[in-house]
Amino acid sequence: MHALARPHDTQAIRPNDLSAVIGHTPLIRLHAASEATGCEILGKAEFMNPGGSIKDRTALGLLDDAERRGLIRPGGTLVEGTAGNTGIGLALVGNSRGYRTLIVMPETQSAEKIAALRMTGAEVRLVPAVPYKDPGHYAHRARALAEAMNAADTRSAWFADQFDNTANRDFHETSTGPEIWAQTGGAVDGFVCATGTGGTLAGVGRALKARKPGVRIALADPAGSALANYVNHGELRSEGSSISEGIGSSRVTANFAGAPIDLAWNIPDTESVPLLHALLTEEGLCLGGSSGVNIAGAIRLARELGPGHTIVTMLCDSGTRYPRKLFNPALLREKGIPVPDWLQRAFPPS
C-alpha cells in the first residue's frame, strides 16, 4: 500500500469538518492484475471516504464552489438527481454544514443504496428510469424542484447538477489528480476509469497530462453506454446492458466534453464481474460493479503499454451496496456471468 498523500494547498480544508477526511485515500496494489500483466496496477481506495464512495469528492467540490459563489444560503436545501452515491455524499457534507438534502433517484437502483441514502436523513424521491431526453428523467426532475423552490424563496435551494456543473471536473483536477501524481512519485504511466458524469476521468486526465504529457488516459465503458463508441468513432451508439450502477452515459456531459482520452473500450460484465469475485476471495477487497469495469480497463491498458508500467484506477465503492446484483447466483446465471463455486455454495438454489 502506498503512503497517504498530504493535503494539497488547492483544496480548502475546514478544521473539524467532515470535508477534512474526504480524499487523500491510499493506493492499493492489485496483486493478481499486476502479476498477470507485469505492470504495477494500483487502485485508489475511494471506498474509504466517509460516505463510502468516490462521489464524496464530487459532493464536496460542488458544494464548496456553490458556497464560494453564494448560490445557496445557510440552512438551504441541496437538490440533486443521482444514482445514489453523489446523493449520499451531498447529504453527509450537507449535514455537517447545516443544509437539508433532497434527492431524486431512479427507482431501479439497489435497495441497499436507497436505504443508505435515506439513513442520512435526506428526502428521497424515487422516479421511473427513463432516457435523458425524457422530461421525467431524474436530473430534470431535480432541476425543476430546485427552480420551483427558488421561485418561491430566493436561494433557498441549490441544484448541484453533477453532470454539467464543471466544478465537478475542476475539483478532481485540483485534488484527485495531484494526489495520484504525488503518491506515485510522478511514475504513473496510465490512468483508466469508467465515467458517469465525466468528472473523475476528465479532471484526473487533465491534471496528469499537465504534469506528464505522455501519460495515457483511458475510458473503461460498461456495456450499454455510448461513450466508448463516441471516443473511438465520434458517434453516440451503444449495445447491450450492464448490471453496474452509476456509470455509462448516452450523452456527452459538460464535464466529459474535451476530456483528454487516448483509448476507450467497452467492458462486458462477463469480463468485469469475475474480477470482483476473485478480488474478494483472493485479496480481501469487496468492491462495486464500477470498480470491476475499472480494473478490467486497467488490465487492458497494461497490456496495451506492456510490462514495466504503472497504471492507476479507481476503486469507487463497496460491493456491499450491490449484493442482490453482484452476489446473486440466479441473476448472474441469467446474465451469462460465471458464478464461482464459493458463491454457489453460499447461496444454493432454493
The residue type at 41: I
User: Exposed, middle or buried, 259 (CB in 10 Å: 0-12/13-18/19+)?
Assistant: buried
Which among 44, 55, 113, 325 is annotated as catalytic? 55
Q: Within this chain, do residues 149 and 212 fall inside the same structural domain, yes or no?
A: no
Secondary element (H or E) of residue 189:
none
Domain end marker among 96, 131, 159: 159
Q: Is residue 240 part of a domain?
A: yes
Q: Within this chain, do residues 70 and 208 fall inside the same structural domain, yes or no?
A: no
Q: Tell me which residue of 51, 74, 32, 104 sits closest to 280, measured CA to CA.
A: 32
Q: Within this chain, do residues 185 and 41 fall inside the same structural domain, yes or no?
A: yes
Q: Within this chain, do residues 215 and 320 fall inside the same structural domain, yes or no?
A: yes
Q: 158 - beta bridge partners?
A: 78
Q: Is residue 267 part of a domain?
A: yes
Q: Is residue 36 part of a domain?
A: yes
Range of the structural domain that residue 269 is part of: 18-49+176-339
pLDDT digits (tens, 9 = 90+) for 179-209: 999 999 999 999 999 999 999 999 999 999 9
Domain count, the chain: 2
Domain end marker among 132, 159, 186: 159
Q: Within this chain, do residues 151 and 279 fall inside the same structural domain, yes or no?
A: no
pLDDT digits (tens, 9 = 90+) for 240-295: 999 999 899 999 999 999 999 999 999 999 999 999 999 999 999 999 999 999 99
Q: Within this chain, do residues 188 and 315 fall inside the same structural domain, yes or no?
A: yes
**Average pLDDT of 36-46?**
98
For the question of residue 335 being annotated catalytic, the response is: no
At a CB cut-off of 8 Å and minimum separation 6, what does 149 contact?
A: 77, 79, 156, 157
Q: 222 - beta bridge partners?
A: 267
Where residue 136 sits, what CATH number does that domain have? 3.40.50.1100
Q: Within this chain, do residues 122 and 254 fall inside the same structural domain, yes or no?
A: no
Q: Within this chain, do residues 107 and 129 fall inside the same structural domain, yes or no?
A: yes
> What is the rounded CA–CA span in Å between residue 34 and residue 40?
5
pTM: predicted TM-score of the whole model, two decimal places: 0.93
Q: How confident is the model at residue 350 (pLDDT cuts 50, 70, 90)?
A: low
Q: Within this chain, do residues 39 and 103 fall inside the same structural domain, yes or no?
A: no
